[in-house]
C-alpha cells in the first residue's frame, strides 16, 4: 500500500510521500515537540498493528543513538477518514499498538514524544523504529498453528483464505474509491456545463443590450 508521511512541528509543516509495500519496517527522526504523521489507505474492518515499535535517544557524548531510553514514551493518535479519533494513548519507549478500521479511506497515524516531561530529551533528537502490518500480515501464523494444532497444509490453506479475504476487502475499497471519483467527476462536469450555459446566456443578453443601445443611439442622432 502507499503511505503518505506528514511531518508536523511547531515551527512549520512538511509533506512527504513515501510508497512502501505493506508490512515493511522503517525508522525516522523527530525533534523536541515535533509530530510525525502517516496517512495510510485502509479498507474497512481491517486490523492494523504497529509492531516492533521502539525509540532511541541521541547521545551527544558518544555520538550515537542509545540502545534503550527508559522513561521516554510516545503518544500515538489515530484518526479515521471522518477525523474521528480511533486510538489515542501514551505508550512506553517500545511496544506495539493495534486498531481495527471501521471506515474505508485514509487513516492518519500520528506520533509525538513526551519530551516535555523528560528534561534529558530537551533539545535532543529521537529515532523511532516502526513496522506497520496491515490485514493478513497482522496474523501470527506460527502461533495460530500451535494453538489450533494445524498441519502445514491446513496452515497454508488458512493463509490463502486470509489473503483472499484481504483481496476482497481491497477490491471493495477500490470500488468505493472509484464510485467517489465518479461522483466527483459528474459533479465537476455538471458545474462546467452550467457555467458554460451561464456564459452563453450572459453573452446573448449583452449582445441584445448592445444592439438596442446602438439602435437608440442612431435614432437619437436621427441616423435611422
Q: List pLDDT tens digits, range 10-68.
A: 333 333 333 333 455 678 888 767 888 888 888 888 888 887 677 777 777 787 777 76
What's the rounded Cα separation, in Å, for the pair 222 and 209?
20
59: its cell numbers: 547521545
Higher pLDDT, 124 or 195: 195
Please determine, for residue 9, whether its predicted confidence score (pLDDT) is greater than 50: no
Q: Average pLDDT, whole number, for the chain?
A: 77
Q: CB within 8 A of 29, min separation 6: which ones?
A: 125, 126, 127, 128
What's the rounded Cα separation, in Å, for the pair 60 and 43?
43
Q: What is the CA radius of gyration of the chain?
A: 29
User: Residue 124: pLDDT band by 50, 70, 90 thresholds?
Assistant: low
- Strand pairing category for 35-42 and 2-8: antiparallel
Q: CB within 8 A of 125, min separation 6: which ones?
A: 29, 30, 31, 57, 58
Given a contact cutoff of 8 angstroms between Cβ atoms, the answer to whether 122 and 32 are in contact is yes
What's the rounded Cα separation, in Å, for the pair 84 and 4?
19
User: Residue 224: pLDDT band by 50, 70, 90 thresholds?
Assistant: low
Higher pLDDT, 96 or 25: 96
The average pLDDT across 156-160 equals 83
Q: Provide the 10 A C-beta neighbour count for residue 41.
A: 19
Q: Which pLDDT score is estimated for 22?
A: 47
Given a contact cutoff of 8 angstroms between Cβ atoms, the answer to whether 206 and 213 are in contact is no
Q: CB within 8 A of 151, min separation 6: which ones?
A: none
Q: Provide the 10 A C-beta neighbour count for residue 73.
A: 19
Measure the CA dihedral 83/89/94/100, to 10°.
-50
Residue 161 backbone phi and psi in degrees, to 5? -65, -40
- Strand pairing category for 25-31 and 64-65: unpaired
Element (H, E) at 188: helix 152-220
What's the rounded Cα separation, in Å, for the pair 134 and 47?
6
User: Residue 8: pLDDT band by 50, 70, 90 thresholds?
Assistant: very low
- Record the pTM: 0.59
Amino acid at each position: 500500500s502507499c503511505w503518505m508521511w506528514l511531518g508536523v512541528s511547531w515551527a512549520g509543516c512538511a509533506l512527504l510521500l513515501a510508497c512502501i509495500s505493506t508490512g515493511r519496517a522503517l525508522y525516522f527522526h523527530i525533534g523536541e515537540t515535533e509530530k510525525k504523521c502517516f496517512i495510510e489507505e485502509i479498507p474497512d474492518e481491517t486490523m492494523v498493528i504497529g509492531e516492533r515499535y521502539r525509540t532511541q535517544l541521541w547521545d551527544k557524548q558518544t555520538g550515537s543513538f542509545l540502545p534503550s531510553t527508559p522513561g521516554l514514551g510516545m503518544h500515538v493518535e489515530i484518526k479515521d477518514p471522518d477525523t474521528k479519533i480511533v486510538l489515542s494513548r501514551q505508550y512506553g519507549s517500545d511496544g506495539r499498538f493495534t486498531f481495527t478500521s471501521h471506515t474505508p479511506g485514509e487513516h492518519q497515524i500520528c506520533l509525538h514524544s513526551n519530551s516535555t516531561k523528560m528534561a534529558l530529551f530537551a533539545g535532543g533528537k529521537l529515532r523511532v523504529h516502526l513496522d506497520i502490518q496491515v490485514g493478513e500480515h497482522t496474523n501470527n501464523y506460527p502461533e495460530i498453528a500451535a494453538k489450533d494444532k494445524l498441519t502445514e497444509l491446513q496452515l497454508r490453506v488458512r493463509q490463502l483464505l486470509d489473503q483472499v479475504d484481504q483481496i476482497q476487502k481491497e477490491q471493495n475499497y477500490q470500488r468505493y474509491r472509484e464510485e467517489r471519483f465518479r461522483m466527483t467527476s459528474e459533479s465537476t462536469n455538471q458545474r462546467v456545463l452550467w457555467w458554460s450555459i451561464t456564459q452563453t446566456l450572459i453573452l446573448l443578453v449583452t449582445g441584445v443590450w448592445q444592439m438596442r443601445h446602438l439602435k437608440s443611439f442612431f435614432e437619437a442622432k436621427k441616423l435611422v
